[in-house]
Amino acid sequence: MSYIALADRQRRINHLQHVEAIASWDEAAMMPAGGGPNRAEALATLRVLCHELACDPRVGDEIAAADAGAQALEPWQRANLREIKRAHVRETAVPTALIEAGSLAESRCEQAWRQLRAKNDLATFLPLLEVVVANKRQVASALSDRLGLGLYDALLDGFEPGARAAALDPLFADLRRFLPPFIAEVVERQKARPVIVPQGPFPIERQRWLGLAIMKQVGFDFEHGRLDVSHHPFCGGVPRDVRITTRYDETDFTKSFMGVLHETGHAKYEQGLPPAWIDQPVGRARSMAVHESQSLLQEMQVSRSPAFLEFVTPFVREAFPDRVAAQPDAFTVENLTRHYTRVKPDFIRVDADEATYPCHVILRYEIERRLIEGSLEVKQIPEAWNASMKELLGVDVGNDHKNGCMQDVHWPAGLFGYFPTYTLGALAAAQLFAAARRGLPGLEEGIARGEFAPLNDWLRTHLWSQASFLETDALMTGATGRPLDATAFKDHLAARYL
């Protein structure tokens, strides 16, 4: 009965989180700017109510009783209990006032960021971000006390249970050694085979048509999701109603095209979660690293491959017939493959190639960790950012902060501890795709013919349908034969680029 009480409460919390997810998607994709202040308050109240439900004083006793009777539970119920406990510890560690203040500060900062980034207005932005960081430091401190983790680990653990800075450091140090010479070598090699850059204009309606067509081909379920526009692309909504967004640039269709595929990877994971567990913690995506593994498997492993580009080039050509007529050599499989595997140190993370991408992540990880630990202040971010971009990628940001430290929505939105999961996800994507290739002979030939069902079925079996039943290591071991490491990622980079 205690388990039932816990599960009933979770269903309630999940329903509120459902509405929160939709209202947050709306806030980013639909809401007129003038609705922002009132929305920020409404979302904060909703967040507080979720917190109060989760912190109901009965929960502690219910958990203890459910634990005592756990042997009578089914395996998925036991896993659900584990996830309920994990969430309960985190929720009860943070005082309600911090939850409410954080939600308000983050909504306000993100809303302002949308306008301020466009105007490159760093001076107005930083004080708003300071409020977010000050709150997040307090949250980290409260979580740290409860969990017995370092300040940064306490946040990281919320996105990737079990991940620790102590394990990230050697991993990132390894990539820091490996990547710069690797990038330099690839850049040098690729000089011999320049990309013909497709010239626009590429009307937004045609880019949207192309995105929708390819989403459908790779298995996005439009009965349970949709595609819209936002300032920063994301995958939101709920598993039975997944909302992905993109942003369009009329001069360059290739960014929204690959961005849509990235978010479609996230979306297929959500849509593949088991409907029977839809309203319970065990029914959610395992973690953000696993989530990013699905977006990056779709984007980096699959969609930048020659096989995939062989399949989609006819769609691209159909989308922009007058551009093709004007520039036939730009719209060939070979040129598009070259374009999508071009390694080029540049400013924007979400548009980065897979070799330079980890440098963007390492930069953010180092800065956000110092921010949370108190050894860097918000006003010092631009200098630290620019120095790191110069060091890691040889790029000069200068005063172009909208393409520097203001480019991402994560910090304004309070998502500190999230960035490392992109690189963990990239490693996992490589490891998973290698395992899928081993398990599915002829996979790439199929992809070249537009056959995505075998890969989707493999992912559904090994990952999507597993939701949070297993923890990350066990999930990866079940799917690939070993826990997550960097081997497959490095092998993949060497095979594709050298």
Residues carrying an active site annotation: 263
CA-CA-CA-CA torsion for 464, 443, 208, 21, nearest 10 degrees?
A: 10
> Using CB under 8 A, which of 28, 44, 282, 330 touches a copy of itself?
44
> Using CB under 8 A, which of 5, 31, 149, 204 touches a copy of itself?
31
Provide the minimum distance between the beta carbon of 115 and a copy of itself in the complex, in angstroms, as a whole number: 12
Residue 199 gets which letter from DSSP? P
CB 338 within 8 A of CB 178: no
> Using CB under 8 A, which of 4, 30, 276, 495 touches a copy of itself?
30
Phi, psi of 242 (to 5 degrees): -90, 130
- Is 12 or 137 the residue whose CB approaches a copy of itself more closely? 12
Which residues in the 429-468 window bind a copy of itself by CB under 8 A? none
What three-state secondary structure class fits 474? helix
Q: Which stretch binds a copy of itself (CB under 8 A): 34-42, 191-199, 437-445, 448-456?
A: 34-42
Provide the minimum distance between the beta carbon of 50 and a copy of itself in the complex, in angstroms, as a whole number: 10
Q: Which stretch binds a copy of itself (CB under 8 A): 33-41, 84-92, 245-253, 465-473?
A: 33-41
- Is 17 or 77 the residue whose CB approaches a copy of itself more closely? 17
Angle between helices 165-190 and 381-393 (to 10 degrees): 50
Q: How many residues bind a copy of itself (CB under 8 A)?
A: 40
User: Tokens 């105007």, residue?
Assistant: 119
- Is 222 or 495 the residue whose CB approaches a copy of itself more closely? 222
Instruction: Identify residue 112 by its one-letter amino acid code.
Output: A
- Token reading at 75: 């395996």
What three-state secondary structure class fits 235? strand
Instruction: Identify residue 217 by its one-letter amino acid code.
Output: Q
Burial (0-12, 13-18, 19+ Cβ within 10 Å), 380? middle
Phi, psi of 227 (to 5 degrees): -120, 130
> Using CB under 8 A, which of 73, 278, 384, 470 touches a copy of itself?
278
Closest CA to 341 of 382, 366, 367, 306: 306
Provide the mask over 198-227, with x wherever binding to a copy of itself is found by CB under 8 A and - wherever it is not.
-----------------------xxxxxx-
110 in contact with a copy of itself (CB under 8 A) = no
C-alpha to C-alpha distance for 138 and 493, rounded to whole angstroms: 40
- Is 25 or 248 the residue whose CB approaches a copy of itself more closely? 25
56 in contact with a copy of itself (CB under 8 A) = no
- Token reading at 474: 């066990």
Provide the mask over 308-347, with x wherever binding to a copy of itself is found by CB under 8 A and - wherever it is not.
----------------------------------------
Phi, psi of 238 (to 5 degrees): -135, 165
46 in contact with a copy of itself (CB under 8 A) = yes
C-alpha to C-alpha distance for 192 and 200, rounded to whole angstroms: 25
Give the CB-side neighbour count of residue 335, counting CA atoms within 13 A: 16
35 in contact with a copy of itself (CB under 8 A) = yes
Provide the mask over 238-277, with x wherever binding to a copy of itself is found by CB under 8 A and - wherever it is not.
xxxx------------------------------------
- Is 93 or 238 the residue whose CB approaches a copy of itself more closely? 238
C-alpha to C-alpha distance for 345 and 356, rounded to whole angstroms: 6
Provide the mask over 6-25, with x wherever binding to a copy of itself is found by CB under 8 A and - wherever it is not.
-----xx-xxx-xxx-xx--
181 in contact with a copy of itself (CB under 8 A) = no
Provide the minimum distance between the beta carbon of 99 and a copy of itself in the complex, in angstroms, as a whole number: 14
Closest CA to 426 of 289, 308, 261, 302: 289
Closest CA to 252 of 298, 299, 204, 218: 204
CB 358 within 8 A of CB 366: no
32 in contact with a copy of itself (CB under 8 A) = yes
Provide the minimum distance between the beta carbon of 229 and a copy of itself in the complex, in angstroms, as a whole number: 13
Cis? peptide before 306, omega within 30° of 0: no
- Is 56 or 451 the residue whose CB approaches a copy of itself more closely? 56
Q: Which stretch binds a copy of itself (CB under 8 A): 28-36, 59-67, 120-128, 369-377?
A: 28-36
Provide the minimum distance between the beta carbon of 401 and a copy of itself in the complex, in angstroms, as a whole number: 26
Which residues in the 403-422 window bind a copy of itself by CB under 8 A? none
- Residue 333 host element (H or E): helix 333-340
5 in contact with a copy of itself (CB under 8 A) = no
CB 454 within 8 A of CB 437: no
- Is 44 or 336 the residue whose CB approaches a copy of itself more closely? 44
Neighbours of 199 (CB within 10 A): 12
34 in contact with a copy of itself (CB under 8 A) = yes
Provide the minimum distance between the beta carbon of 224 and a copy of itself in the complex, in angstroms, as a whole number: 4
| Longest distance between any two alpha carbons in the chain, whole Å | 72
Q: Which residues bind a copy of itself (CB under 8 A)?
A: 11-12, 14-16, 18-20, 22-23, 26, 30-35, 37-39, 41-46, 49, 221-226, 237-241, 278-279
